Chains A and B, each alone.
Chain A
Amino acid sequence: MSEEVKAPKKEKIPRQKMPEQPANERRRNFEEVPYGYTPELAMKEAERCIQCKDPRCKQGCPVEIDIPGFIKHIKEGEFEAAIRNLWEKNSLPAVCGRVCPQEVQCEGLCILGKKDEPVAIGNLERFAADYQREHGKQILPPKADPTGKKVAVVGAGPAGLTVAGDLLLKGHDVHIFEALHGPGGVLLYGIPEFRLPKAIVFQECNFLERMGATIEVNAVIGRSETVDELLERFDAVFLGVGAGLPVFLKIPGEHYIGVYSANEYLTRSNLMKAYEFPVYDTPIVKGKSVATFGGGNVAMDCARTALRLGADHSYIIYRRSMAELPARTAEVHHAEEEGVEFLLLNNPTRFLGDDATGRLTGVEVLKMELGEPDASGRRRPVPIKGSEYTVEIDTAVIAIGSGSNPLLTKSTPGLALNKWGYIVADPKTGKTMKPRVWAGGDIVTGSATVILAMGAGRLASNSIHDYLTYGW
């Protein structure tokens, strides 16, 4: 082909960065880190999408959002059309735009990523949802005619909210039961304000209520009512109660004052707003030297919360190296920028404390080196003999994962549980061994991500809808 007939080359638009709070300011406040796109930035970023005929990004999305579709609307400035498009597949877009690991899902598969940076799909999703919330009209997606069928959703976290959103659209009656005093599950008690403002969680739940859902808080199913009792009143029951059991290190000294499970530390700070003590009544130990044990996203949340609560030192103590850290790269990056100190290849052996006051004073750690790969494929950390040393700390947060909370499962005969106590459910449909009961999210898979729980919710809602409609 000759030079003359070639179309003029379009100027390449670089991936648009979201403006964010400078690290040295945000490390001391709880306000959200990125400010979000302006409409101009969003439209410019949307222009980068080449609208693939067979979009790979969509295959990476557990809830199958029509990604090129909503991006096209943003490109053309049709923001209401963009949110309507998102709502068809996702009732929590403001949440997903913020907390999904896009780099291993949609954006990880974006064709532009092969040579350049992928389209900022998460940022655009967030923009569409935020724009609707802040500037849009009070609109709702169209609902199917009422079916007269009633579904109980146990747990108002990502899985349960997705099931609720889907089934409402299909015309079913949905009643959500939540054990805590506010809906949102991990979105409310777990993920910090600076990553996911609670006002947004509140609005997303409020959106479901406007769609017709009933949300009953303070309802501890398993105690206040059993699943069998729910089955008398409802046509189907979905269990999305989360993992919800703290795991401790099982080393001496975990009773000292200042040792927290990640669940407790985050619940105090996020759900109970202890960072605003004494305006809010719930206190939290505001440590000057805080160690978080673990290397996942929850550990990063804890370490960054500690800084915002006023810590001079916030350590991540992890037994493997940086390469094995399970947290998202973006989260690790944010934590590093804010001054979190990483003590890698270190394993705690015991907590030290003042036995007169009961307060934590330090932790003894053992240095490790990497050996052969283990079952997980990651190189196994091996202790270096005699390398123990003490890190002086006044607060410790244990963020090494969670187990299955037996409160509901033990009170529900007929559910099959695996050896770790998680509910056995069909991975394609969420059906449990108990008739008319579905389950999904962390109580089936063990601790995972918000979007995987939402994906499980989607599969379960499809199956519940089939059952309610056709009887299977």
Chain B
Amino acid sequence: MFEIVERQEMAQGTIISNWIKAPKIAAKAKPGQFVILRANEKGERIPLTMADTDPAKGLINIIYMVVGKSTALFKTLQVGQGYIDVIGPLGQPTHLEKVGKVICVGGGTGIAVLHPITRGLKQIGNFVYSVIGARSKDLLILEDKMKAASDEMMICTDDGTYGHKGFVTDKLKETLEKDKDIKLAVCIGPVPMMKFCCKVTKEFGVKTLVSLNPIMVDGTGMCGCCRVKVEGKMQFACVDGPEFEGHEVDWDELDLRLRSYMVEEKVSYDQFKECHGGGKCSCCS
């Protein structure tokens, strides 16, 4: 078992942070890489990009939003309990490079993935703008950590309860207009957010990295489930990615493939909500 040593609920319990004991992974992991986790014998293999690591203590950090059965099941795991399987580090690490000025844009739990990349970019001497957003103030995560990793940070909320009222794309566009020296954008969040961020950066001709989260099974390039179209070619997010040049990604295809199991996901989640603890679902039977 991979034990949870620290657990925190964020964004009103919709987002959970776990520090997990996984010394081998912690020793090797680099920003941008992911792990696959399974809660129990009957569980799905869920890929999550690591939010942080502590190699000295042998710990990795994952931050996830509760969106369905598997993540709801993850949420039930308390300190001292753990995951039956944690596999990693998987995927290619982010290519961190000193380019001068960069802008890092994150939405929702994407901020958790963005943070180590932002920190890495700043550590090697880039000037870092960052834009983070959420639907509402209560749902915004990692504000302090992102602030520490940025030279200048902007906050957006859809409902205007904090920072700029509007989408992260507004601030992204504004910053790119203001500062023509920005050489690189890193945009991580929900698919529509990344898609529209890429539209903006393309107008300005700024290279843009995105981190994709297609459905996966093995995570080692064996099954092809996570195939995405990049530059018109089939790529596997698990081994070729998860980061890709955003202007080349076929977003509509990714968006459709993410809905492959919408019906099944609902069946599974409904059953979980109804019987969790009742001995009928996979978590308790």
Contact = CB atoms under 8 A, between A and B. Distances in A.
A165 to B, nearest CB: 24
Contacts of A189: 218
A245 interface: yes
Contact of A223 (B43, B85, B88): B88
Interface stretch (B94-102, B155-163, B175-183, B262-270): B262-270
A225 B253 contact: no
Leading 6 A-B pairs by shortest Cβ distance = A358-B256, A283-B264, A264-B223, A246-B224, A261-B224, A281-B44
A341 to B, nearest CB: 25
A280 interface: yes
Tell me the interface secondary structure of chain A in the complex: loop
A264 to B, nearest CB: 4
B56 interface: no
B223 A261 contact: yes
Contacts, number: 118
A407 B220 contact: yes
9 contacts: A181-B45, A244-B221, A244-B222, A245-B221, A261-B225, A285-B261, A405-B220, A407-B221, A407-B239
A223 B282 CA distance: 31
Interface in A384-412: 405-407
Interface in A219-252: 220, 223-225, 244-246, 248
B164 interface: no
B76 to A, nearest CB: 14
Contacts of B265: 283
A314 interface: no
Interface string B190-233: 00000000000000000000000000011011111101010000
Contact of A246 (B70, B85, B222, B285): B222
A328 interface: no
B263 to A, nearest CB: 9
Given A220-B90, A223-B90, A225-B24, A264 B85 contact: no
A278 B25 contact: no
A226 to B, nearest CB: 9
B137 interface: no
Contacts of A405: 220-222
Interface in A406-448: 406-407
Contacts of A218: 85-87
Interface residues of B, number: 44
A301 interface: no
Interface in B248-274: 253, 256-257, 259-261, 264-265, 267-268, 271
Contact of B44 (A244, A254, A261, A272): A272
Contacts of B42: 273, 279-281
A181 B222 contact: no
Contacts of B85: 181, 217-218
A412 to B, nearest CB: 15
Contacts of A143: none
A179 interface: yes
Tell me the interface secondary structure of chain B in the complex: mixed
A283 B217 CA distance: 11
B28 interface: yes
Contacts of A264: 217, 223-225
A380 interface: no
B89 interface: yes
A277 B264 contact: yes
A278 B271 contact: yes
Interface string A173-194: 0000001110000000100000
B222 A267 contact: yes
Interface size grouping (class) on chain A: 35 or more
A223 B85 CA distance: 16
A260 B24 CA distance: 33
B222 A263 contact: yes
Contacts of B247: none
A283 B268 contact: yes
Contact of A267 (B73, B218, B259, B282): B218
Given A220-B220, A254-B227, 17 more contacts: A218-B87, A224-B87, A245-B222, A246-B223, A248-B224, A255-B229, A257-B256, A264-B223, A264-B224, A267-B218, A272-B44, A278-B268, A281-B282, A283-B264, A285-B261, A357-B259, A406-B221
A329 interface: no
A268 interface: yes
Contact of B220 (A179, A255, A273): A179
A147 interface: no
Q: Which of B43, B85, B234, B264 has the most CB of A within 10 A?
A: B264
A282 interface: yes
Contacts of B225: 260-261, 264
A442 to B, nearest CB: 12
Contacts of A277: 264, 268
A248 B234 CA distance: 10
B251 to A, nearest CB: 12
Interface string A262-292: 0110011000110001111111010000000
A285 B260 contact: yes
A261 B221 CA distance: 12
Contacts of A282: 44-45, 217
Contacts of B171: none
A244 B222 CA distance: 5
Nearest to B85: A181
